[in-house]
């Protein structure tokens, strides 16, 4: 070491030592000074620059001495490095030792700079060090330390049954295919009623009323005449008379009775054509009824329909055969399972909803027409398993959707995908990903901020078509 440097260090040590001694003595509340005893010269041949307080107090001396506690000052040799700056950890190399390749836009825009600068929002461009740059045009790299600090989690793309719950409200209605109207095909006179009130349960074949029908009387008489006629009458004439009775709606049992007894009863007991409940009764005893007039309406209530109103935006998730769970507001603890049987072809302009028909059983008769019901459709259950990833893995750039495929060693590939149905926290991937690939499910935004995803995404964007030459 040169003489000038030694003199400079000694001068600095003396000045700092004087000030430090005063501060330290005041701090220790020392009022009596201890006699200074000079120690002998150091046995070592190493040159001593100065002496420092052994207690670590900011006190230095150009010659050996003792502090107020009687401890000898420690020598500081020429070959010792004294640094007042915090040294970097050995496990974490200083960034200054790594070569900066360029500076990238902090918002992920495809803009780089060879020198430090700020973006229009005043944010500093982020340095990209050697080893952190993308290894190709389709991947980005983030240091493993940042990946661990960000809490990045990955999950494999797997096939699963994706069920989406679509809800709607509806009402209970009768099954249109299970109702029957009772009417006469000729002018009739009602002489007696066997079913005289609505709500009566009837079975097919049971009598509803007794009527006098002049047209049936004439047809029966003609049928008997053909049966009693000479042998020369052909069978076609007999068959024609019998067909006439059938065209008037006469039950087969009455026709066979007339054939066998060859009698012409004046009245007929009209049987119920189907089993069910009489919901409508439009006839009274002694009434004259016209041809085609509705007398009874019989409905089988063992099966009913639920007409649900589904929002226009959700109708694409519902297909014929989609399972539905119906909960009646009158019986909130009872749930009835059914299937979608029909989707009506029109949209209600007032509510922007589409009607969906569900067929449900009603063996106990608990369901009543016009009851309100809440319907939950399990969309996707009929489609089977599809390739899915967690919804948190999806990143929307505004023009396309993509996921981050983990390649290991802190490298990630932004992969454009085509999403499909969503449900249960997962989204269907229709294209762009294979089963078993690891995708990032958490901290995707932090990876986006630490890397230059937009630059990597440009590799997946097809070049714009060249404009045709104007003629």
Residue 7 has pLDDT above 60, yes or no: no
Helices (H), 151-302: 214-228, 235-247, 252-261
Burial class (CB in 10 A: 0-12, 13-18, 19+), 130: exposed
Q: Tell me if 30 sits within 8 A of 68, measured CB to CB.
A: yes
pLDDT, residue 376, reads 92
Its pTM surpasses 0.85: no
CB atoms within 10 A of CB 109: 12
Residues 416-443 have a mean pLDDT of: 84
How many percent of the chain have pLDDT more than 70? 72
pLDDT per residue as tens digits for the range 377-420: 987 766 678 888 888 888 887 777 888 888 777 777 888 888 88
- 218-222, 255-259, 356-360, 462-466, range with the lowest pLDDT: 462-466
Residue 66 has a pLDDT of 87
pLDDT at 454: 52
Helix axis angle, 214-228 relative to 252-261, nearest 10°?
40
Q: Report yes or no: 208 and 183 within 8 Å, Cβ to Cβ.
A: no
Q: Which residue has the higher pLDDT, 8 or 106?
A: 106
The CB density around residue 322, as the number of other CB atoms within 10 Å, is 21
* Start-to-end C-alpha separation, the chain: 84
Tell me the pLDDT tens digit for each residue of 126-165: 887 776 655 555 666 666 666 666 667 888 888 888 777 8
Residue range 49-84, pLDDT digits in tens: 778 888 777 777 878 888 888 888 888 776 664 444
Least confident residue range of 177-186, 284-293, 319-328, 435-444 = 435-444
Residue 304 has what pLDDT? Answer: 94
CB within 8 A of 160, min separation 6: which ones? Answer: 385, 386, 388, 426
Residues 6+ apart with CB under 8 A from 165: 376, 377, 378, 379, 423
Structural domains of the chain, ranges and CATH numbers in brackets: 3-77 (no CATH), 95-129 (no CATH), 140-161+385-460 (2.40.420.20), 185-292 (no CATH), 303-379 (2.40.30.170)
């Amino acid at each position: 070491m040169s003489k000038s440097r030694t003199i400079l260090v000694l001068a600095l040590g003396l000045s700092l030592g004087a000030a430090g001694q005063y501060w330290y003595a005041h701090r220790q509340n020392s009022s009596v000074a201890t006699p200074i005893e000079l120690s002998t010269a150091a046995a070592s041949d190493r040159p001593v620059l100065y002496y420092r307080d052994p207690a670590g107090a900011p006190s230095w001396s150009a010659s050996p001495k003792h502090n107020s506690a009687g401890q000898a000052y420690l020598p500081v040799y020429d070959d010792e490095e004294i640094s007042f700056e915090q040294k970097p950890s050995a496990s974490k190399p200083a960034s200054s030792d790594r070569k900066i390749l360029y500076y990238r836009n902090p918002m992920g825009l495809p803009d780089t700079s060879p020198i430090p600068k700020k973006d229009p929002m005043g944010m500093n461009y982020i340095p990209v060090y050697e080893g952190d740059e993308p290894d190709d045009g389709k991947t980005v790299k983030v240091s493993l330390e940042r990946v661990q600090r960000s809490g990045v989690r990955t999950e494999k793309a797997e096939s699963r049954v994706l069920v989406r719950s679509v809800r709607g409200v509806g009402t209970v209605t009768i099954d249109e295919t299970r109702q029957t109207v009772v009417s006469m095909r000729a002018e009739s006179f009602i002489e007696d009623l066997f079913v005289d009130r609505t709500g009566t349960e009837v079975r097919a074949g049971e009598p509803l009323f007794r009527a006098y029908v002049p047209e049936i009387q004439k047809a029966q008489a003609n049928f008997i005449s053909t049966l009693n006629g000479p042998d020369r009458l052909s069978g076609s004439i007999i068959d024609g008379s019998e067909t006439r009775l059938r065209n008037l709606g006469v039950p087969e049992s009455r026709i066979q009775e007339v054939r066998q007894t060859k009698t012409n009863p004046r009245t007929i007991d009209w049987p119920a054509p189907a089993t069910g409940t009489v919901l409508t009764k439009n006839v009274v005893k002694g009434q004259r009824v016209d041809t085609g007039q509705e007398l009874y309406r019989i409905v089988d209530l063992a099966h009913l329909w639920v007409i649900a109103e589904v929002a226009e935006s959700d109708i694409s998730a519902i297909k014929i055969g989609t399972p539905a769970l119906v909960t009646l507001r009158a019986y909130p603890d009872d749930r009835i399972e059914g299937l979608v049987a029909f989707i009506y072809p029109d949209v209600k302009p007032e509510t922007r909803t589409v009607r969906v028909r569900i067929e449900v059983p009603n063996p106990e008769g608990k369901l009543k027409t016009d009851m309100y019901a809440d319907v939950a459709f399990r969309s996707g259950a009929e489609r089977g398993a599809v390739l899915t990833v967690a919804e948190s893995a999806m990143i929307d750039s505004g023009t396309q959707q993509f996921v981050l495929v983990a390649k290991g060693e802190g490298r990630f590939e932004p992969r454009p995908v085509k999403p499909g149905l969503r449900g249960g926290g997962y989204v269907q991937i229709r294209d762009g990903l294979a089963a078993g690939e690891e995708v990032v499910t958490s901290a995707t935004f932090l990876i986006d901020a630490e890397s230059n995803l937009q630059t990597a995404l440009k590799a997946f964007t097809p070049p714009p078509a060249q404009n045709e030459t104007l003629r």
